[in-house]
Structure 1
Amino acid sequence: ISSRAISFHSLSPLPSHHFAFHSRNLLKSHNRLISPLFIFGKMFCILISLFIPIVSAQFDFDQCNVTKGCWFHPPNCMGTATCVSGVEWEVRPAGVLFTMHSSVSDLDTTRPTWIAVGLSLNQRMDDDTVLECVRRADGDGRVRMSFNDETHNAVLHQASASLLSEQAVSFQDGLLTCSAVLSFTGRNQLAENEQFKVHDLSLRPYYLLFARGSANPYSLEKDIHSTNDGPTFPWITEEAISFCVDNCTLLGVPPSEPILVTQMHQTKMERYWRYRVAVMHGVAMLIGWWVLGSNGILIARYFKPLFPRRKLLGTAVWFQFHRDMMVVGVLLEVTAVVCIFWQAGWVWYECSYECSSDDFAKKMHAITGVFGTALAVIQPFIAVIRPAPDSNIRPFFNWTHWLIGMTAWCFASATFILALPLGKTGLNRVYGHIPNYIMGGYIITFCLTNVILEMIATTYSSTPLRAHKIGPSGMAMSILNGPSTESNIAEPKRSSARIFVFSIHLIISLAVSITITVMLVRIMYSHSP
C-alpha cells in the first residue's frame, strides 16, 4: 500500500505553483542555450543587410571594355563581388556620357550625399574640372559641374546649364547612380572667368579621381571627403584616360578606347603615416628651434665670460655647448623639412584662385619654414670660415653670424604661428586660440630673457674677476657690449644671475615644446588611432 501510495503520488499532477516554477526554470535553461545562437543569427542578418547594398551585383559590367570604359573600386572588385563605387564613360560624337555609381550606406544617410569624378592633369585636384552629383535625403538629386582650385571647390552654374545634358539621378538599395553627357563644345560661350575652369576633353588625356561624402542639407555645399585611410578616401587612376574623337592625330592625343581601368591608388603614402610624419616634423622643429636653437643663441651671446678656467673637450665650455646644440638643431630642422616634403610627394603647396587666410597661412608656412631652415644651414659654414678673434674683420663676422641666426629664428617662430590653423595640426580647430597664447607667450619670454641678460651683462659687478685666455689665439672670446667687441680680459658679471635667468628660459622652452607636442599627439590619435 505504501508503495502504491508513493507510486500514485509520483504520477499525480504537481501543484500549479510548482509546475509554474519548474516551467520557468526550464525556460531559463532553454534561453541560456539558444541566446548565443539567436544573437549570432541576429548579427549575421544585420551584417548581410549592410553588405547587400555594396555588392557588385548591382553594377553592370557587360559592356565594359566593349562599348564603354569602366573603372570600379576597390581594385579587383569585379571578380570578387566587392565593388563599392565605379565610373563608366561612353564617348559619343557630341560629348561623353559619364555614369557614376557608389554605395552611400556607409555615409550619413540623414544628410545629403555626393559623389564626384574629377578630371585632373596631374593626379591631384588643383585647378581641375569636376562632374558631381548631389542627392538630398528626401530623394531630390542633381548633376552639376564644379571647379577645384587646390583649396576650394566652387559650383559652375553656367557651365552646368550649358554643357550638361541627359542628367539622371537614381537611388536604390543604398546605391546612388548619376549620369550626364558632358559636351565637347560650348566652352567658348561661357563667361571668361569660368571658361578656363572647364577642361577641353579633346585636347589631352586626363587622370580620373573619384570621391564621395556628405553635403550641407540647406546649401548642398559639399563637405570635404574622408581624410583617413579607408574605402571613403578618394581613388585615382594610374593612367590618363583619353576622350578624343576627332583630329586626335593632329592634336597629338591618342584616340579614345573603351578600356577597363584596373590600376589605381588612393595615396602614394598612407594617411596613417602622413599624419605621424607631420607630427614628428612639428616636434622636431620645436626642439630644434625653441629648445636647442634659442638656448644656443643665449649661451653664445651671454655666457662667454663664464667658466674661464674650464674647458670641455679641449675648447671653451660656452663654445662647446653652443656648437653642439646648434649643429644638432640644424640636423633636426633639415630632417624635418625633408620628411614633410617627402610625405607631401615633393609638391610645393600654392594658393590658387581662391585663397582664404588659412590657405595663405599654409602657403606662407612653407615659404618661411624653408627660408628659415636655409639660413640655419648657412650658419655652420660661416662659422667654419670665421676669422681669428684678433682679426680686423672679426666684428663684421660677429655681426653677420648673429644677424643671420636671429633672422632665421624669427622666420622659424613665424612659421610656428602660421602652422596653427593648418589641417594636419588641427591645433586651432581643437584648442581654439590657446596654442596662439602659448607660442606668443614663449616668443615674448625669449625676447624678455635677452633684455634681462643684456642688462646683466652691461652692468658692472661689484667684485670684478679676471678671466683667463682660453681661445685658440689667446682670446677670451667674451662679449662686453655686443657682437662687435671681444677682449682678452673678460669680466664675468653676475654669473649666478645669468644662470638663473637662463634656467628659467630653458624650463619654459621645454614646457612649451612638451605642451604643443602633447596637443599634436592627442589630435592625431583622435582621428587616426
Structure 2
Amino acid sequence: MGRFVYYLLTVCILSKSLVAFKKNTDCGSSVGCYSDCSGDCTFEVTWREMGTKIEISMKASLASLSSGGDWISVALSSDDKMGSDTAFDCITDGSQVFVQRSTNPGKYNTQISPLDPWITVKTNSYSAGILMCSFDAEKSNAAGIDFDTDSYMFFGKGKWNGNLNSKFKHEITPKISAEKVDLQKYDVIGGSPMNIMLKLHGIMMISAWILCASIGVVVARYYKPVWLEEKLLGEKVWFTLHRGVMVLAVLFCIAGFTIIFVDRGTFQEIESDSDFKKAHPFIGIIVMCLAVIQPVMAVFRPHPGDNNRFIFNWAHWGVGIVSHFLGVLNILIGVLLDAMQMPIWVVYVVVAYAVYQFVIEFFLEIYDCMSRKKSASEAYEMRENDSLAKQDTKQDSQYNVKKIILGIHITIICLFTIALVILVSMDLSIHNQVPKLKILSVELYAQEMGNKTSGQRLKRTLKKKASLSSENEYLKMQFKITDEQLKEYRSLFKDHSDNNKVITRNEFRNVYQLIYKSGDATEFADRVFDVFDSDKSGTVDFIEFAAGLTMMDSEKLEQKISIAFSMYDEDGSNTLSKQEVINMIQAYYRLLGPDVSRSPVEIANDLFKKMDLDKDDSVTYEEFASVAKRDPTVLEILNPKA
C-alpha cells in the first residue's frame, strides 16, 4: 500500500497562495493587454494610445508584503533579452504606492529620480494583496523613448528595501511577451517565447516517469505469476517487459537531464515566489541519481535464494517507489513553472494520471487478494486430479483477465502520455493566459479600417480570427451582434454579393446607387467601401461587412465618431485637412442629389472652421470628437437621408 500513499501525496502540493483577480473586461476592445489570465490573473499590463500620450497600467498579486516593500515593473525592449531596456516600476512599502522609471543598462537595474515630468501618475493602490499603478507617458519625451516602435514587453516583480536603487533582483523569472507589442493596437497577448529545449526536457521526463515507469512497476508487482513459465528473449516474460520499459525510463531521464544542462549551461536555481517551485532542480538531481542507482543495483543483485537477496528486494522496491514518486511530483511542479508557460488546467491532467495510477494498482491489489483467497479455498476442497485440472483452468481464466487489464492499462497510460506531450509541445503561452489573437478595438474599429499607410498606422485586420469557431461567434463576441442582426446581415450580404463570399467595389457602388437614385453615389460609396475593407484586399467579406454596419448603426457615440473620422480622413494621416473635409462633404451632397440650398464647399469651410479648435489648419481626432459630441450634424454622413 506504500505506493498508494505516494499517489495521494502527489496531488497535495502546498504553496504560497497568490490572490487572483479577474481579467480586465476592456481587453481587446479599448485597451491592449499582456497577462497570465486564464480565468483568474496574477499579473496584467494594459495600454492604450490617447493622442500624444500612452496610458499604461500594471497590476499584480503579491503573496505577502515584504518587510521593506515590493515592486512590480513593466519594461520595453528591442529584443527578448535583458539589457538596454526602459522600465516603469510600481513600488509600495505597504503605506504608500508610487511610480518610478528605471533602466536596464545590462543585467542590472538603475532607477531614475525624480520622476520624469513627461510621466503623469493617475492611480496607485495596494489593497488585499493587489498592487496597481497607472500613468500617462508623453510619446514625445526628453528620454527619447519611442512608444511608436514595437517592443518586447517584460513583466517582473521583487522586493524593495525602501531606498533609491534598492530594488532587489526579481524573485521570479520575468515574463516576456511572445512577440513584439504594438502600443497603438489593442492586442491581447501572453506568455514568453517558447523554449524548445525546456519543452524537450519536459517531454523526456513525461516519457520516463508517466509512460515507462507506470507500466514497469505494474508488470513487476502484479504480473509475475501470469507468465511464470513462459520466456521472452531468454528471460521470463514479466522480467523482460519490466527490464525493457525501466531501461527506457532511465534513458529518457538521462536525456532530459542532459538537455536541461545543455540549455542552462550550469546548475540554476528556480526564481519563483513559491517555495515548492524552487525545489524543482534539487528534486530533479535526486531523481536522476536514483534512476541511475536502480540499474546498478540490478546488475549486482544476489541470486534468488541467496541469504542477502531480501536486502536487494527491499532496496530495489524502495528506490523504485521513491524515484517514481519524486519523478511524477517534479513533473507536476514543472508544469507550474513560469518558464513552461502552461495553463493551470494542465496540472489537472497530471493529477488525473496520478489518481488513475492509484486506482489501477488498488484494483489489481484487491483482485489478486480475492483470487488468492478463492484459490486457497478451492484447493482445500479439491483432492481429485480432474478437480485440480479445473482449478488450473480457472487460474488461466483469471490470468487472461489480468492480461486484458494490462492491455487497457498500457493504452490509458499511452493516452495520458500523448496528451501531456502534445500539451507541453504546444506554445501554450497563448492559452495560459489569453488567446494570442489580434482582437480589434470596437471603439477605434472604423478609424483602423480607414488606414492605408504604414509606419505609425494601425495595421490590425479582422481576418486574424483563426482560433475562433466561426464568423458568427467572432462577431457576437467582438461586436455584441445578436442572432437576429446576423440573420439580417447575412441576407443583405447574400443579396448584394455575386458569389456569396465577397462584395466588390462595383457591387458596393451599385447598392448605394439603388438607394440614392437621384444622386451620384460613386465617391461616397468608395469612401464607405475603403473603411469597410479593413485588409485592403479590394473586396469586403462578411466579417468586414457585418462589423462595418454594426459600427455605423451603433448606439455608442464614440464608435460613430471613430468611423465618421475615418471617412473624412482620406489619406489615413490621423488628421483632417480642409480639402479632405471639402471632398467628403461634396461626396455626401453628390450622393443626396442636386437639391442643396448651400454650396457644399461653403458648408465644408464652415464645418472645418468649427472643428479646427487650435487654428492650425488641421483637425485632430480629439478636436473632431469634441465638436461631434456637441454638434450631431458632423455625423450625418453616417446616415444620409435617401
Q: TM-score, structure 1 length as denominator?
A: 0.46
Q: TM-score, structure 2 length as denominator?
A: 0.38
